[in-house]
Structure 1
Amino acid sequence: MSSATQSQSWDVHRLPSAEGRNFLVTGGNAGIGYFTAEQLAATGAVVVLGCRDRAKAETAMASIRSRVPGARVRHLRLDLADLSSLNSAADRLDLGQLDAVVHNAGVALDDPPRRETAGGHELMFGTNHLGHFALTRWLAPLLSAARAARVVTVGSFAARSERLDLGDLQSTRDYRPKRTYGRSKLAQMCFGFELDRRLRAAGSTVLSVVAHPGGALDSLTPSRPPVHRTTPGARLCALPSALLVQGKDAGAWPVVRAVLDPEVAGGELWGPRVFGLRGTPRREPVPSHMADPAVAAQLWAASAELTGTARWSGPA
């Protein structure tokens, strides 16, 4: 089936049933993660919101239930900046299998000072990449127990213009917030593609897919009070931007398709149709700097050492 045919047959407003399946969305209490969780909950699946703050998770779950009658949503306390907590977090899922994990949670810092996690890792790289890398390791048995599970990594348009510095992954020598953020998202995306190569080599039924939301603005996002509020004035001011970008509800569409569409294959990149910034989801060519196996292998080795998962070379 061609990409064009797939785009025509997939309806973002009429998602297939996923009843009986279990999905984990990291950072599912806000932004792209919230709308991903809301849309997946409408399929009948059990959706687990992985986030640190229980109160915010409860608010998000109440919002989802108010819009999706009968939604089956749960909270898992998950702190991706605390690598030592991730093994027990996977155990606390209390599921026999996991049909998909969406690696969505992320930290973006605008202020110049460099910050570190309690474990001594640069905060954005440590949370966005290392946390998800380690979480995948601990979720591997649950993913392998499902018939055809997926690891969906949420990347960013910002990663297109960045390149990894394998000698300074944690920006100790030259820290610039926007660049460090873009590189942390690039590391995530490289990991997603490398993970799929390892899955295929191992003959696994698990797929690893990368998706990105394009340009997603709060001001173009529908209100979900108290999770998110968009005033009429803010939306009116943002209308000219809607020619190029979209709201976070639409930004979740490529992610949701990567989770649900049976035509999606491992190692693919999905994003918005119009210039990769807005519109319905489509498969995109993978940029060469994201798919370089030599760079990815070095990143994997460094990540395994930094997360204390050196014995893990791939799922299960």
Structure 2
Amino acid sequence: MSSTASPSSHRAWNVRRPPEADGRVILVTGGNAGIGYFIAEQLSATGAMVVLGSRSPARAEVAMTSIRARIPGARLRSVRLDLADLTSLGAVVESLKVERLDAVVHNAGVALDDPPRRETGAGHEFMFGINHLGHFVLTQWLMPLLSAAPSARVVTMGSFAAKSERLDLDDLQSRRDYRPKRTYGRSKLAQMYFGLELDRRLRAADSTVASVVVHPGGALDSLTPSRPPVHTRTTGERLKAAPAALLVQGKHAGAWSAVRAVLDPAVRGGQLWGPRVFGLRGRPRPEAMWSHLEDRSVAAGLWDASCDLTGADLGII
């Protein structure tokens, strides 16, 4: 597939009125809060069936109630999804009870603000284990459903925080060098490497599935419109954050790149999409690939290490 989108498609895209997607089935991991909530809300407005993957069924129900209040007739479901529990993911996919999946948005993630280092039940560093390894294994289980769709997409939500980081393939679990912000940035960088390597392997296998990497730019709660009780922004927070709007944006706008990557037929596998203004705010556009993401040896090394750590078999792609 071509790695660039046409300029005319870029100009024509309306972030507030994406095309209809009746009949499509889309899974959004972490769809109950933050950027994931707004991805789910915006996709619901297109008529698609949107499945919210969430660790908390109660929070997923609250999110669905909020979306339905804004979008009457929205087609929504939820599945309990715990990306820290790799052994549960096969059953999660079975619980979808669909014949095909038109897209998955790998959005769910955690960020630890303070030490100490934590591990999942499988012994993986918490952020790397959930943000990257959980989605890596989930993709293995979803691939038959994605392959059953005419032109499915795997959309991986990266982070601008990954732009200044580099992966250490000898310390992926941050055992020697654990700093929360750095480890978070590296976990998101791992996701982005995975999304790009996945597309290369899909193309080599002549698959109909495409993998696209996106990021939200700078997305702040204080610039995000209220969706009570999912998210509430006070007048004071809005006024205080107003100057920041010159550089960054809210999480509703941070969702735009992912929504376009799911729906726009001009988007191609292997692309990186983000906000148009310095990569921090604005409407989505295809970005020049970050130089370190072009290192295929790192991507391949991460892929092999992820297979070893999880036992996942994505070599069949």
8 Å CA contact 1:198, 1:314 repeated in 2: no
1:61 aligns with one of 55, 64, 67 = 64
Match of 2:194 in 1: 191
Pairwise CA distance, 1:60: 0.1
CA deviation vs aligned residue, 1:9-51 (integer Å, no higher than 9, x gap): 0001111010000000000000000000000000000000001
3-state SS of 1:124 partner: helix
The answer to whether 1:234 aligns with 2:237 is yes
Match of 1:265 in 2: 268
Pairwise CA distance, 1:105: 0.2
Rounded Cα–Cα distance in structure 2 between residues aligned with 1:52 and 1:209: 24
3-state SS of 1:79 partner: coil
Match of 1:27 in 2: 30
Match of 1:156 in 2: 159
In the TM superposition, what are the counterparts of 1:176-255 in structure 2 within 5 Å?
Answer: 176-255=179-258
Change beyond 3 A, Cα 1:219–1:255: same
8 Å CA contact 1:199, 1:314 repeated in 2: no
8 Å CA contact 2:169, 2:301 repeated in 1: yes
Match of 2:147 in 1: 144
TM-score by length of 2: 0.98
1:12 aligns with one of 11, 15, 24 = 15
Change beyond 3 A, Cα 1:17–1:314: farther
8 Å CA contact 2:5, 2:268 repeated in 1: no
Match of 1:287 in 2: 290
Which letter does structure 2 place at the counterpart of 1:268?
Q
Which letter does structure 2 place at the counterpart of 1:254?
S
Pairwise CA distance, 1:287: 1.0
The answer to whether 1:46 aligns with 2:31 is no
Change beyond 3 A, Cα 1:163–1:156: same
Rounded Cα–Cα distance in structure 2 between residues aligned with 1:140 and 1:53: 24
Pairwise CA distance, 1:69: 1.0
Match of 1:312 in 2: 314
For the aligned residues, what is the CA RMSD? 0.9
Pairwise CA distance, 1:116: 0.4
Pairwise CA distance, 1:2: 5.7
Pairwise CA distance, 1:273: 0.6
Pairwise CA distance, 1:3: 4.9
- The answer to which of 179-188 and 291-300 deviates more is 291-300
8 Å CA contact 1:192, 1:209 repeated in 2: yes
Rounded Cα–Cα distance in structure 2 between residues aligned with 1:291 and 1:82: 31
Match of 1:119 in 2: 122
Rounded Cα–Cα distance in structure 2 between residues aligned with 1:23 and 1:291: 28
Rounded Cα–Cα distance in structure 1 between residues aligned with 2:17 and 2:301: 41
TM-score by length of 1: 0.98
Pairwise CA distance, 1:314: 4.8
CA deviation vs aligned residue, 1:212-242 (integer Å, no higher than 9, x gap): 0000000000000000000011000000000
CA deviation vs aligned residue, 1:274-293 (integer Å, no higher than 9, x gap): 00000000000111211211
Rounded Cα–Cα distance in structure 2 between residues aligned with 1:208 and 1:146: 14
8 Å CA contact 1:48, 1:76 repeated in 2: yes
Pairwise CA distance, 1:6: 2.5
CA deviation vs aligned residue, 1:241-299 (integer Å, no higher than 9, x gap): 00000000000001100000000000000000100000000000111211211111110
Rounded Cα–Cα distance in structure 1 between residues aligned with 2:250 and 2:64: 20
Give the count of matched residue pairs.
314
3-state SS of 1:235 partner: helix
The answer to whether 1:256 aligns with 2:256 is no
3-state SS of 1:166 partner: coil
Rounded Cα–Cα distance in structure 2 between residues aligned with 1:34 and 1:143: 22
8 Å CA contact 2:114, 2:180 repeated in 1: yes
8 Å CA contact 1:125, 1:181 repeated in 2: yes
Unmatched runs of 5 consecutive residues or more in structure 1: none
CA deviation vs aligned residue, 1:102-133 (integer Å, no higher than 9, x gap): 00000100112000001100000000000000
